[in-house]
Amino acid sequence: MRRSPFSPSSRLRLNFFSFSKFTPPQLIALTFAVTIVVGALLLYSPLTHQSGHSLSLVQSFFMATSALCVTGLAVVDVGSTFNLFGQLVMLALIQIGGLGIITFGTLFAFLLGRRINFSERVRLAQQVSAFDTGGVVRLIRQIFIFTLSAEALGTLLLALRFVPKEGWGKGLYYSLFHAVSAYNNAGFSLYPDNLMGFAGDPLINFVIGGLIILGGMGFIVQINILGHWRSPRRERILVHSKIVLSVMAALLAVGMLSFLLFDWNNPRTLGPLPLGEKLLVSFFQGVTPRTAGFNTVDYSGISQPSLFITIILMFIGANPGSTGGGIKTSTFFVMMMAAISLVRGRSDLAVFGRRVDRATIVRAMTVGLLSLGLVNTGFLLLLIANNDNNLSFERLFFETVSAFGTAGLSMNTTTLLNSNQEMIVSALMYLGRIGPLTFAVAFGNRVKSEPVKYPPERDILIG
């Protein structure tokens, strides 16, 4: 009897992400790059375009990168440029990019009855920022269940608004597209003005905002909170969860209150709105810079103080192991607390009754420094390539941070970029999604051991 090649007992091994010669950072970087190329070729094909529309190869590459890196910056309007097949390609790239390509490889392995070996578990742990490899397979199952449940609930709630507006078929499709885009912090909309037409709609604002917060929370935190809610005695709230939830709440409050304060009388944003809509719009603009990309106001019209706060929020980004980008909330927290501890003369950094080891502090500082260097380099390159369209310093800097933080917000700048600038922004989105430290570790020279250990030098002045 001939065995099926998909049988678990078959000698044929179907390895979707198990390549022994690649380290976890290398595999993450390479799989994202390969998938972007495949997505770009699909989006370049006339099969994905509406009648009378076409994209250049660079534009297709940009859109594939933005979708897979769940950014939301767009050089063309998704709803009017792509047909249903093209929009579904975009949606697939968003879902794959949000959850992680290696995570999807695991799903296919499950479906084919494959066992996950140790090296593959290590790569999975790196992909979802798990603390260890022991329960990573069970964690992946939980992530898929939680994600699909959240997106399904979001689709049902959004259907209450989109079905009456668009009809049953189109309304349900719009609900699904926006729910997936929101949970994965992608920020793509099928409406040409994004969500500006729903600025005063509580249902759209709170459902989309809630999905953004859930997706940006981080898989580890989601499962930890859910487990604690089910059984408080068996599963405690992790220190990691306490840190990122505290920072999330603080940043959301800062974003909302600062927008409310600085744009209260701005005639182009909050000025003409009644009190209730001012609060609603400010809430949404406090949520969306956390790498979400949706907007209910025109960012080219917001005040400069609000732009400054938005840039900071985009740079910090979402939580580790989430669908969002940026340097991450935990990195920001460790950097700030380490600086405060040093100023206070404390040798150790302690949070929530636990000590943060020096390796974690050094890693946080490294991520912060590499990210600043990447943003500054990308911004300089955009300025150098800005010789034919003369975009302002302010607009290009906002675009740079938005691309690196995979935030997807723009001051109506993206469609004005030339081809060279589109490639630079694409590189920023890619590096921002996989993380500058991951990329540096993946392709940097690895030193196995240090044969010589030098004595410390204390005569180096800092500050």
Whole-number pLDDT of residue 446: 57
Tell me the three-class secondary structure of 321-366, residue by residue.
CCCCCCCCHHHHHHHHHHHHHHHCCCCCEEECCEEECHHHHHHHHH
Cα-based angle 150, 180, 128 (whole degrees, multiple of 5): 70
Inter-residue contact 168 to 189 (CB < 8 Å): no
51 SS3 class: coil
Exposed, middle or buried, 112 (CB in 10 Å: 0-12/13-18/19+)? middle
- 40 token code pair: 């770009």
Whole-number pLDDT of residue 447: 53
Inter-residue contact 259 to 306 (CB < 8 Å): yes
Q: How is 376-401 classified by DSSP, letter by letter?
A: HHHHHHHHHT-TTT---HHHHHHHHH
Q: Is residue 92 part of a domain?
A: yes
Whole-number pLDDT of residue 56: 94
- 368 token code pair: 């912060």
Whole-number pLDDT of residue 453: 67
Q: Is residue 66 part of a domain?
A: yes
> Could you tell me if residue 328 is left (phi over 0), alpha (psi between -120 and 50 degrees) or otherwise beta?
left
Exposed, middle or buried, 264 (CB in 10 Å: 0-12/13-18/19+)? middle
The series of mean pLDDT values per 10 residues for the chain, 463 residues long, is: 43 44 72 92 96 93 95 94 96 88 54 50 50 60 85 96 95 97 93 93 96 87 84 83 91 95 94 94 93 90 95 91 83 91 83 84 90 95 87 94 94 93 96 78 58 62 53
Whole-number pLDDT of residue 343: 87
- 227 token code pair: 């487990």
Q: Is residue 461 part of a domain?
A: no
Cα-based angle 456, 458, 461 (whole degrees, multiple of 5): 135
In whole angstroms, what is the distance from residue 379 CA to residue 375 CA? Answer: 6
Q: To 10 degrees, what angle do helices 393-404 and 419-434 make?
A: 40
In whole angstroms, what is the distance from residue 244 CA to residue 252 CA? Answer: 12
Q: How is 64-123 classified by DSSP, letter by letter?
A: HHHHHTT----SS-HHHHB-HHHHHHHHHHHHHHHH-HHHHHHHHHHHTT----HHHHHH
Q: Is residue 302 part of a domain?
A: yes
- 347 token code pair: 């040798």
Whole-number pLDDT of residue 372: 94
- Domain around 121: 24-440
Overall domain count for the chain = 1
Q: Is residue 3 part of a domain?
A: no
| Residue indicated by tokens 């001939």 | 2
Whole-number pLDDT of residue 125: 52
Q: Is residue 6 part of a domain?
A: no
- Pick the closest to residue 203 from 148, 152, 159 (CA basis): 159
Whole-number pLDDT of residue 454: 67
Q: Is residue 203 part of a domain?
A: yes
Whole-number pLDDT of residue 85: 96
Query: H-helix or E-strand containing 374?
Result: helix 358-384
Q: Is residue 16 part of a domain?
A: no
Inter-residue contact 116 to 105 (CB < 8 Å): no
Question: Within 13 Å of residue 463, how many CA atoms lie on the same side as its CB?
Answer: 3
4 SS3 class: coil
